[in-house]
Amino acid sequence: MEERLYDLIFICMPTTPEEEIAKLIATVEQAAAEHGGKIEKVEKWGTRKMAYRVAKQREGFYVYVSLHSNQGELIKELERRLKVSDSVIKYMTVRLDEEIKRQQKLVGRRERRARRRPRKPVAAATPPSGEAAAAASAPESH
Amino acid sequence: MHDQPAPSSPQAPQGPRPSGGPPREGRPGGGPGGPRRGKRQYFRKKKVCRFCVERIDFIDYKKVEMLQPFVQDRGKIMPRRMTGTCSRHQRWLGVAIKRARNIALLPFATEL
């Protein structure tokens, strides 16, 4: 299985002490190491106001982890651990590799096209024909 | 009331219709028709898709400031005809907003 890229965000209670959070992150890293995953980066966004109440709290401590893995069970394992933990009130995993691939394809396509024909400066009104299908929205607005 | 042309079938592909016509319930919302309810004028400016102009390929659900302009104050996602987004980016935008809602970065609904 090829490398998959995941985004994992979890929210802890705002009253969680620092070492608790560090322990959680260590758990995540350890689980990743066990199941053939690789942590790309960990970001602590700190305490932040949430858009709605979760577990009767208005604020939460956000942690963001980006990781690679070639085993799907890693995610199941991580989510299980987060679910079991008492201080984590919300978590979400997003799989991103397909989107990144598609984005790179679009970027590649655009550069190839730009090389093939010299592009006029970016004019919002009339992009060169054969530009991405997004330009087809222009006829809608007359 | 405005002038009354013979009302065409609501499902007819709507080009720009200068005469409009009485708004019909349940009509598919595509196209510029319909905003006669006094909310917005008839297509008052031609907007281009912001994402196409800036050539953004990946709408990040984590960047709330990028998503905020496309969300109404009640928390609803703005329709495409109001923001001028192209269909492709509107789809991606919807996905990003829903992800952000799930992680409490954006509200599902707010009380006015």
What pLDDT is recorded for position A108?
A: 87
Residue A117 resides in a domain:
no
Residue A56 resides in a domain:
yes
Residue pair A96/A15 in contact (Cβ under 8 Å)? The answer is no
Is A134–B52 a contact, with Cβ atoms under 8 angstroms apart? Answer: yes
Judged by a CB distance cut-off of 8 A, whether residue B63 touches chain A is no
Residue/partner pairs of A27-30 with CB below 8 Å, 24 or more apart = A27/A81, A27/A85, A28/A65, A28/A78, A28/A81
Residue A115 resides in a domain:
no
Q: Which residue has the tokens 């690789």?
A: A38
For residue A124, the distance in angstroms to the closest alpha carbon of chain B comes to 6
Average pLDDT, chain A: 82
What pLDDT is recorded for position B24?
A: 47
What pLDDT is recorded for position B20?
A: 47
- The pLDDT tens digits of the residues spanning A113-129 come to 888 877 665 544 444 44
Interface test with B, best of A79, A100, A107, A137 (most B CBs within 10 A): A137
CATH number of the domain where residue A40 is located = 3.30.70.60
Chain B residues close to A135, C-beta within 8 Å: 52, 86
The CATH homologous superfamily of the domain defined by B50-102: Ribosomal protein S18 (4.10.640.10)
Nearest beta carbon to residue B58 from set A64, A99, A136: A99
What pLDDT is recorded for position A110?
A: 84
Quick one: A13 exposed, middle or buried, by C-beta within 10 A (0-12, 13-18, 19+)?
A: middle
3-class DSSP assignment, residue A116? helix
Picking from A10-14, A28-32, A64-68, A116-120, which range would have the lowest pLDDT averaged per residue? A116-120
- The pLDDT tens digits of the residues spanning A34-44 come to 888 889 899 99
- The pLDDT tens digits of the residues spanning B11-35 come to 555 545 455 445 444 444 444 444 4
For residue B78, the distance in angstroms to the closest alpha carbon of chain A comes to 17
Judged by a CB distance cut-off of 8 A, whether residue B40 touches chain A is no
Residue A113 resides in a domain:
no
Residue pair B107/A52 in contact (Cβ under 8 Å)? The answer is yes
Is A122–B53 a contact, with Cβ atoms under 8 angstroms apart? Answer: yes
Q: Is the pLDDT of residue A140 over 70?
A: no
What pLDDT is recorded for position A124?
A: 45
Domain boundaries, chain B: 50-102
Residue A135 resides in a domain:
no
B33 token code pair: 């028709």
Residue A114 resides in a domain:
no
Count Cβ–Cβ pairs < 8 Å, chain A vs chain B: 66
In the predicted model, residues of chain B with pLDDT beneath 50 are: 8, 15, 17, 20-21, 23-36
Question: Looking at the 3D structure of chain A, how many domains does it have?
Answer: 1
Average pLDDT, chain B: 73
